[in-house]
Structure 1
Amino acid sequence: MNEESSERRRRMHKRTVECDGYLRDDGLWEVEARLIDTKPFAQQDRYRGELKPGEPVHDIALRLAVDDGMTIVEAETIMRSTPFPTCIEVEPILQRLVGERIGKGWRALVRQKIGPLETCTHLSELLGPAVTALFQTMSYGKTPEGGGSLDNQRSSTERPFFIGGCHSWRTDGPIVAEMFPQFSAKRPAGA
Structure 2
Amino acid sequence: MPLSTPAPRSHLHNRHVVYRGYRREDGLWDIEAELRDTKTGDFTVSSERVWRGGEPIHGMAIRLTVDSQAVVRAIEVAMDDVPHGACPAAAPPMQRMVGSSLARGWRRSIDQHLGGIEGCAHLRELLFNMATAAFQTMVDAVLPADAPPPFLGKCKTWDFDGETVQRIYPMFYQRRHERVA
The bucket for the TM-score relative to the shorter chain is 0.7 to 0.9
Structure 1 residue 48 displacement after superposition? 5.4
Q: Tell me, what secondary structure is at the counterpart of 1:139?
A: helix
Quick check: 2:103–2:131 contact (8 Å CA) kept in 1? no
Q: 1:69 — aligned with what?
A: 69
Map Cα deviations across residues 152-172 of structure 1 (whole Å, 9 max, x no partner): 86x722333222222222222
Aligned counterpart in structure 2 of residue 161 of structure 1, from 140, 150, 161: 150
Q: What is the match of residue 39 of structure 2?
A: 39
The answer as to 2:160 corresponding to 1:184 is: no
Structure-1 residue corresponding to 2:132: 132
* Residue 91 (structure 1) aligns with: 91
Contact 1:58/1:82 (<8 A) preserved: yes
TM-score normalized by the length of structure 1: 0.78
Deviations along 1:119-158, whole A, 9 cap, x unmatched? 11111111133222222222343xxxxxxxxxx86x7223
Q: Structure 2 CA distance, aligned partners of 1:166 and 1:52?
A: 41
Does structure 1 residue 107 correspond to structure 2 residue 96? Answer: no
Give percent identity, aligned residues only. Answer: 37
Runs of 5+ consecutive residues of structure 2 not aligned to the other structure:
177-181
Listed as ranges, the matches of 1:112-127 within 5 Å are 112-127=112-127
TM-score by length of 2: 0.82
Alpha-carbon offset, residue 92 of structure 1: 1.6
1:24-72: CA deviations, max 9, x gaps? 1111111111111101112334565332111111111111111111111
CA spacing shift, 1:172–1:109, aligned 2, 3 Å: farther
Contact kept in structure 2, 1:36 and 1:57, CA below 8 Å: yes
- Structure having the higher Rg: 1
Counterparts in 2 of 1:69 and 1:96: CA distance versus 1, 3 Å: same
| Inter-partner Cα distance in structure 2 for 1:52 and 1:42 | 4
For residues 8 and 56 of structure 2, the distance between their equivalents in structure 1, rounded to whole angstroms, comes to 25
Mapped to 2, the partners of 1:104 and 1:26 lie a distance apart of 24
In the alignment, the residues of structure 2 paired with residue 98 and residue 158 of structure 1 have an alpha-carbon distance, to the nearest angstrom, of 26
How many residue pairs align between the two structures?
174
Matched residue of 2:146: which SS?
A: coil
Distance in 2 between residues matched to 1:28 and 1:19, nearest whole Å? 17
Structure 1: stretches of 5+ with no match in the other structure: 142-151
